[in-house]
């Protein structure tokens, strides 16, 4: 059992480590992985530790010396350079030379005779020299002769020097090093996994005339405007043929009228299933054209993956075994009793034929990847088997590492987290319903300062076609702006269900958070010119995001104290802290609020007496501030929030021009 009982160092509690190493942590190219571990040994010897990391499959480990924190905790970090799975572990060992040097200093300091100790040092150096490279052997020999020499003070000076330790540090004795028994994985995505700006739009509502069905060609015409607002992902609800059986009418009416287009999530008809395109939207060629045009404007098309079928889906005939039948021979519709979804048939993931099912669903994803899609928004993943998602995402990403999967799960927290662990690149969150300062602080802490930050990348949505939250129903235009600023600055990934949001649509079914006359069941002809619409402001906010790396990450948030329960303030910094943003929002869409904001001047390296420039990137105002506490007053009816860029240091004379 015990290979070498002389390995005295133990390693515990390595982070990041999700479910004891069962799941990887997540990073994008360019991000750091900060690794911590408890590393210690019996006794008083000097322990050292190094972080070992490599691209999975590489033979050699890269080593980074870990630095001791307090209480036997050690830390090191490495930067992800490539889209590749990485793995890491930790190694710890006792450094006898450093132990000797540390003890020698204490004895010398205490006035003890250290003649024999110097001889011990000579022996240690000789031992290390056996491992040394040729180029260093001379140095070792020189050091040894000094330690053995007549001049005691020179010997002691050298023995206690950094110079000698730097040399010996190059040749650690790893013979009895402990390597932690597990390796932890890092799954790496492209940068868009961390920083993306989503716009959701129903392509069928894009025609220039309400009587017409929108098409990909009409969509294409909208691309410049949407890109102009600063979005880089255009997410389309399902584009597949819509079933006719039990097609839903306006406002989810179980009986549709002639001409009702039905819900795009009722996928499949005689025209085809998940690999087909709804004929009224256009052709596959049109769709590819749309992808191309989007690309030319710096946007990607995100496709909806909704693994469910209308009763007319070809799968029902081809694979009846994938669906449940009831004793009367009828098909088992989707239901969450007492709610019924008669236009949708769920796939039975407990089918005997699950292996073929899994392969088919994987083929659906691969089919659209082949057509140029790189981003998928997955509808209700929490009603499909977790084992399936873990398998299919790994399968797909092994072949196509740049694919992004967004989990649209609004369900119980542990299930949402498990989906993220299982591989989803980004996740919908409860942000949609977090409004008060306490709620936001608490939730952001959970998402960014706990283990969750390692495996879940939030994507904040103030609204979706399924959710018009009460806050937006009753908060008026200020509420929309508040949620926009929060979504866009709290989280580096955010999105809006576009037209309805930017046009301030706030009418819901009575007592519910469902849109009145929801676009899910009808074609809309949006009036983009509605007064007070947020198109310009959205453009400003998204430009601020694009210009400031501080807003292109989520874990870098730090909340700042304000002595008013309605004022929320936080700081984000990036680029070695050269880019610092402060966001301050009045969470009340109704009333003016004021308070004192406390600034982290010490961390900024700004003294109490020094003035510094802050630049409100929304209103384009500039202020000269001084001191730790600054008075803030926000009227939600003019602009409910500020996004300040902090000029932390005056670096050039010309900077003075700003305000002198």
Q: Which of 29, 68, 72, 600 binds a copy of itself (CB under 8 A)?
A: 72
Phi, psi angles (nearest 5°) of residue 472: -80, -35
Q: Does 21 bind a copy of itself (CB under 8 A)?
A: yes
The residue to which tokens 């001889």 are assigned: 119
* CA quadruple 252, 253, 255, 259: dihedral sign: negative
Q: Which stretch binds a copy of itself (CB under 8 A): 232-240, 261-269, 281-289, 351-359?
A: 351-359
Distance CA 479, CA 485 (A): 10
Element (H, E) at 580: strand 579-586
Beta carbon nearer to a copy of itself, 162 or 355? 355
DSSP state letter for 456: -
Check if 379 is active-site: yes
Residue closer to a copy of itself, measured from CB, 43 or 259 = 43
Shortest Cβ 556–a copy of itself spacing (Å):
27
Asked if residues 306 and 265 have their Cβ atoms less than 8 Å apart, the reply is yes
Among 222, 240, 274, 384, binds a copy of itself (CB under 8 A): 384
Q: Is 410 in the site for a copy of itself (CB under 8 A)?
A: no
Taking the least distance from each CB to a copy of itself, the nearer of 82 and 356 is: 356
What is the total count of residues that contact a copy of itself (CB under 8 A)? 61
With binding defined as CB under 8 A, does residue 326 bind a copy of itself? yes
Known catalytic membership, residue 363: no
For 420, phi then psi, to 5°, come to -65, -45
The residues in 356-375 that bind a copy of itself, with binding defined as CB under 8 A, are 358
Catalytic residue among 31, 87, 408, 519: 408
Three-state secondary structure readout of 428-453: CCHHHHCCCHHHHHHHHHHHHHCCHH
* List 176, 442, 512, 591, residue binding a copy of itself (CB under 8 A): 176
Q: Which stretch binds a copy of itself (CB under 8 A): 268-276, 328-336, 463-471, 593-601?
A: 328-336
Among the listed residues 518, 587, 574, the one whose alpha carbon sits nearest the alpha carbon of residue 548: 574
| Cβ distance to a copy of itself smaller for residue 40 or 198 | 40
3-class DSSP state for residue 39?
Answer: strand
Closest C-alpha among 389, 325, 313 to residue 358: 389
3-state per-residue secondary structure call for 250-307: HHHECCCCCCCCCCCCCECECCECCCCCCHHHCCHHHHHHHHHHHHHCCCEEEEEECC
Binding status of residue 177 toward a copy of itself by CB under 8 A: no
Q: Considering the complex, what minimum distance in angstroms separates the CB of residue 495 from a copy of itself? A: 24
Q: Is 338 in the site for a copy of itself (CB under 8 A)?
A: yes
350 binds a copy of itself (CB under 8 A): yes
Question: Which of 62, 383, 445, 610 touches a copy of itself by CB under 8 A?
Answer: 383
Question: Would you tell me how many other CB atoms lie within 10 Å of the CB of residue 278?
Answer: 23
Nearer to a copy of itself, 217 or 382 (CB): 382
Which is nearer to a copy of itself, 391 or 443 (by Cβ)?
A: 391
Is 113 one of the binding residues for a copy of itself (CB under 8 A)?
no
Q: Which residues pair with 253 in a beta bridge?
A: 249
Among 309, 323, 235, 311, residue whose Cα is nearest residue 276: 309
Among 98, 165, 244, 382, binds a copy of itself (CB under 8 A): 382
Measured in degrees and rounded to the nearest 5, phi and psi for residue 137 equal: -60, -40
CA dihedral 589, 590, 594, 596 (to 10 degrees): -30
- Residue position matching structure tokens 């659906």: 364
Cβ 393 to a copy of itself shortest distance, Å: 13
- When asked if residue 398 is in the footprint of a copy of itself (CB under 8 A), the reply is no
* Closest by CA position to 239, among listed 400, 402, 382, 373: 373
Encoded one letter per residue, x for contact with a copy of itself by CB under 8 A and - for no contact, window 586-625 reads ----------------------------------------
Which of 300, 379, 454, 579 is labelled catalytic? 379
The residues of the shown chain that bind a copy of itself, judged by CB under 8 A, are: 2, 5-8, 10, 12-13, 19-21, 38, 40-44, 71-72, 102-104, 106-107, 109-110, 112, 116, 119-120, 122-123, 176, 326-328, 330, 335-338, 349-351, 354-355, 358, 381-388, 391, 412-415, 418
Catalytic residues: 379, 408
């Amino acid at each position: 059992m015990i290979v070498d009982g002389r390995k005295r160092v133990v390693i515990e509690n390595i982070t990041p480590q999700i479910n004891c190493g069962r799941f990887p942590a997540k990073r994008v190219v360019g991000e750091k992985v900060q690794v911590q571990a408890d590393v210690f040994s019996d006794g008083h010897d000097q322990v050292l530790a190094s972080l070992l990391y490599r691209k999975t499959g590489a033979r050699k480990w890269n080593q980074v010396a870990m630095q001791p924190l307090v209480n036997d905790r050690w830390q090191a970090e490495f930067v992800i350079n490539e889209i590749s799975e990485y793995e890491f572990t930790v190694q710890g060992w006792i450094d006898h030379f450093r132990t000797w040097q540390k003890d020698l200093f204490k004895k010398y300091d205490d006035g003890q005779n250290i003649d024999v100790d110097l001889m011990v040092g000579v022996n240690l150096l000789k031992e290390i020299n056996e491992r040394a490279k040729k180029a260093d052997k001379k140095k070792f020999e020189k050091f040894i002769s000094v330690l053995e020499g007549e001049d005691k003070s020179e010997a002691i000076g050298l023995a206690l020097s950094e110079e000698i330790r730097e040399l010996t540090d190059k040749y650690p004795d790893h013979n009895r090093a402990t390597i932690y028994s597990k390796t932890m994985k890092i799954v790496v995505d492209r940068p868009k996994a961390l920083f993306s700006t989503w716009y959701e739009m129903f392509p069928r509502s894009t025609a220039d005339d309400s009587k017409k069905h929108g098409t990909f060609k009409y969509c294409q015409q909208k691309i410049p405007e949407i890109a102009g607002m600063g979005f880089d992902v255009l997410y389309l609800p399902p584009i597949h043929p819509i079933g006719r059986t039990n097609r839903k009418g306006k406002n989810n009416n179980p009986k549709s009228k002639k001409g009702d287009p039905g819900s795009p999530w009722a996928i499949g008809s005689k025209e085809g299933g998940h690999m087909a395109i709804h004929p009224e939207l256009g052709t596959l060629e049109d769709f590819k054209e749309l992808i191309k045009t989007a690309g030319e404007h710096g946007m990607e098309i995100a496709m909806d993956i909704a693994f469910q079928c209308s009763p007319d889906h070809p799968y029902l005939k081809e694979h009846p075994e994938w669906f449940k039948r009831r004793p009367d021979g009828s098909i088992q519709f989707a239901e969450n009793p007492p709610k019924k979804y008669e236009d949708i048939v769920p796939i039975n993931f407990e089918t005997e034929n699950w292996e073929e099912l899994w392969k088919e669903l994987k083929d659906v994803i691969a089919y659209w990847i082949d057509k140029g899609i790189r981003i998928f928004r997955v509808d209700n993943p929490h009603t499909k088997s977790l084992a399936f998602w873990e398998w299919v995402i790994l399968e797909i990403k092994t072949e196509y590492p740049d694919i992004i999967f967004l989990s649209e799960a609004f369900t119980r927290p542990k299930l949402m987290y498990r989906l993220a662990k299982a591989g989803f690149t980004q996740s919908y969150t409860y942000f949609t319903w977090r409004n008060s300062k306490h709620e936001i602080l608490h939730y952001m802490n959970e998402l960014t300062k706990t283990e969750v930050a390692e495996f879940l990348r939030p994507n904040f949505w103030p609204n979706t076609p399924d959710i018009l939250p009460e806050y937006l129903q009753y908060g008026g235009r200020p509420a929309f702006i508040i949620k926009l600023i929060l979504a866009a600055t709290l989280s580096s990934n955010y999105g809006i269900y576009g037209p309805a949001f930017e046009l301030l649509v706030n009418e819901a079914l009575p007592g519910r958070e469902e849109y009145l006359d929801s676009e899910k069941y009808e074609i809309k002809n949006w009036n983009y010119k509605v007064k007070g619409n947020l198109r310009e402001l959205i453009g400003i906010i998204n430009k601020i995001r694009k210009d400031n790396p501080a807003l292109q990450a989520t874990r870098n948030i730090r909340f700042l104290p304000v002595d008013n329960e309605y004022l929320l303030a936080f700081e984000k910094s990036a680029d070695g802290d050269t880019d610092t943003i402060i966001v301050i929002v009045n969470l009340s869409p109704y009333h003016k609020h004021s308070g004192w904001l406390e600034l982290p001047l010490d961390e900024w390296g700004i003294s109490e007496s020094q003035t510094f420039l802050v630049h409100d990137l929304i209103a384009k105002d500039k202020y000269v501030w001084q001191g730790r506490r600054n008075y803030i007053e926000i009227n939600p009816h003019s602009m409910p929030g500020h996004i300040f860029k902090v000029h932390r240091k005056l670096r050039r004379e010309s900077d003075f021009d700003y305000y002198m």
